[in-house]
């Protein structure tokens, strides 16, 4: 077999993003045991930083061992039992995935849908919550497939009023724009490490309110997934330190260092950087004849969904960017396949140099 020899790429797709040399260095740190006092200290510090990043006081905040989808599944299988009502906003791939996982939980599913590229109408969603009184209401905060940023604050207020748990997907938004769990009244949220946290994929930060944890502890049936059962994970991440599984030591090192980098920069500065480079990219794209497909006023700064102009073969364009510039961007999914490009500006991949590189490459290729 040949020696592993990967051509480096500049990652500007929907994830993963570029990773700091400091995070790569952390990955090479010698292994210790997952119950070693040194590792338990890293877990404690990681929890503290994740709470600050989620802007929450939730005790149950941790990094699930697995990619972002493991955090997604953990939220649904812990909160839902057979026959529970759930209301889901569907306006892209990841809202649709929420429906599929809820089906596997045998929940009673209701949806509010919107065109891909548009937000879920807030008033319509709130009216459905008042009408149905669901156990859970679920929304994608940052829809990676469309580049849409969903408003949540008013929905959270109504969920609190109605006794409904608000569950959100913030896989793409966490670390790139504000995610205010406590202020918005969010009860459960999941994310991933490979986007705006600029860490390799492999862990899923999650957080649960006391209200959500009370629901989980009072279930009438066992959580269908032993591995993702939060009542057991709580005993590992909490003060008891009861063995549950062998945590991915190196990935936890990497997340720890990635979070340190985030707080060295500062959240407000980081959010402003993502917004500033997004605006720089949009201006340059418009000058080249491109325009964004996502709803104006609700666009993600870290994931730009760009309409492919007539006469341009988007698959050929992406291939040329990869082969000629070692530059990766993403294709459209579902009904947007072949119609849009997805250009990421996430964490380490969100710099003026990245913006200038993609614009120069596009200028030479179109």
Confidence of residue 264 (pLDDT cuts 50, 70, 90): very high
Confidence of residue 366 (pLDDT cuts 50, 70, 90): confident
Mean pLDDT of 173-177: 98
Domains and CATH numbers, the chain: 10-14+267-365 (3.90.1150.10), 21-263 (3.40.640.10)
Mean pLDDT of the chain: 97
Predicted local distance difference test score (pLDDT) of residue 205: 98
Q: Which helix (H) or strand (E) holds 118?
A: none
Predicted local distance difference test score (pLDDT) of residue 273: 98
- Cβ distance 176 to 350 under 8 Å? yes
Confidence of residue 46 (pLDDT cuts 50, 70, 90): very high
Q: Which residues pair with 60 in a beta bridge?
A: 208
Alpha-carbon gap, residue 111 to 298, rounded angstroms: 21
Predicted local distance difference test score (pLDDT) of residue 81: 98
Predicted local distance difference test score (pLDDT) of residue 315: 95
Count of Cβ atoms closer than 10 Å to residue 43 Cβ? 18
pTM for this entry: 0.97
Alpha-carbon gap, residue 19 to 41, rounded angstroms: 24
pLDDT digits (tens, 9 = 90+) for 95-142: 999 999 999 999 999 999 999 999 999 999 999 999 999 999 999 999
pLDDT digits (tens, 9 = 90+) for 22-39: 999 999 999 999 999 999
Supply the DSSP string of 26-65, one letter for each residue.
Answer: HHTSPP--TTSHHHHHHHHHHHHHHHHHHT---SEEEEEE
């Amino acid at each position: 077999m040949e020696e592993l020899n990967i051509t480096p790429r500049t990652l500007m797709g929907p994830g993963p993003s570029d990773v700091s040399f400091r995070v790569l260095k952390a990955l090479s740190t010698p292994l210790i045991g997952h119950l070693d006092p040194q590792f338990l200290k890293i877990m404690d510090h990681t929890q503290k930083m994740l709470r600050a990043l989620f802007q929450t006081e939730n005790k149950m905040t941790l990094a699930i061992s697995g990619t972002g989808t493991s955090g997604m599944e953990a939220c649904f299988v812990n909160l839902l039992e057979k026959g529970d009502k759930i209301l889901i906003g569907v306006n892209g791939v990841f809202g649709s995935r929420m429906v599929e996982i809820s089906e596997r939980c045998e929940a009673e599913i209701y949806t509010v849908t919107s065109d891909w590229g548009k937000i879920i109408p807030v008033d319509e969603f709130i009216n459905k919550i008042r009408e149905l009184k669901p156990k859970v209401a679920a929304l994608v905060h940052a829809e990676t497939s469309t580049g849409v940023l969903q408003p949540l604050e008013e929905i959270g207020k109504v969920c609190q009023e109605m006794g409904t748990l608000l569950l959100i997907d913030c896989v793409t938004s966490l670390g790139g724009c504000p995610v205010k769990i406590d202020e918005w009244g969010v009860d459960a949220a999941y994310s991933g490490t490979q986007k705006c946290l600029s860490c390799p994929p492999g862990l899923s930060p999650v957080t649960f309110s006391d209200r959500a944890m009370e629901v989980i502890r009072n279930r009438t049936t066992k959580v269908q997934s032993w591995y993702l059962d939060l009542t057991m994970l709580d005993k590992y991440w909490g003060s008891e330190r009861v063995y549950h599984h062998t945590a991915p030591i190196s990935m936890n090192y990497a997340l720890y260092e990635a979070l340190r980098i985030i707080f060295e920069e500062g959240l407000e500065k980081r959010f402003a950087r993502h917004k500033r480079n997004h605006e720089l990219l949009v201006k340059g794209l418009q000058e080249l004849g491109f325009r964004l497909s996502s709803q104006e006023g609700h666009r993600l700064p870290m994931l730009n969904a760009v309409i492919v102009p007539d006469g341009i073969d988007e698959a050929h364009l992406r291939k040329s960017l990869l082969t000629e510039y070692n530059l990766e961007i993403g294709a459209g999914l579902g009904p947007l396949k072949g119609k849009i490009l997805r250009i990421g500006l996430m964490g380490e991949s969100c710099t003026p140099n990245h913006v200038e590189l993609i614009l120069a490459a596009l200028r030479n290729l179109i």
